[in-house]
Amino acid sequence: METIFFFKNMVPSEEEKLREYFLTKVPKIEKMLSHFSPDSVTLQVKGEKFQKHSAYDVELTMKSPLGTLTAQEASHMITKAVDLAKDRLMLQLKKNLTQGRRSHRSLKARSKMEMKISLPV
């Protein structure tokens, strides 16, 4: 999985903190994407600091064979924003993976049913 970082209105120390903290969370995401090739998944991490409210906004955008998933969270702490956005992305990913499996199963079940119906008695 390729990870790309974008920052807006953040000082270098905050950028480094976001980068390091997020990279500790990446193995859990990669574990869910183990059946995809590493080249087929791109994850964009966008971090923004709001000066007026002293808050951080983290947006995660994942492009994979399943489609594009987006999760965005805002908080006064970088780590909390990263955790919440990652959790949201993981929920979407789980949902898409299970939907794909269900539709695949239903196709198999349908084909078996059609075979039973079409066999002469």
> Letter for the amino acid at 82?
V
- β-strand partners of 58: 47, 73
User: Helices marked H in the chain — which ranges?
Assistant: 12-32, 78-118
Can you give the pLDDT of all 121 residues of the chain as single tens digits?
A: 899 999 999 999 999 999 999 999 999 988 888 888 888 899 999 999 998 888 999 999 999 888 899 999 999 999 999 999 999 999 999 998 887 665 555 556 656 655 556 555 5
pTM of the model: 0.78
Greatest Cα pair distance, the chain, in angstroms, is: 77
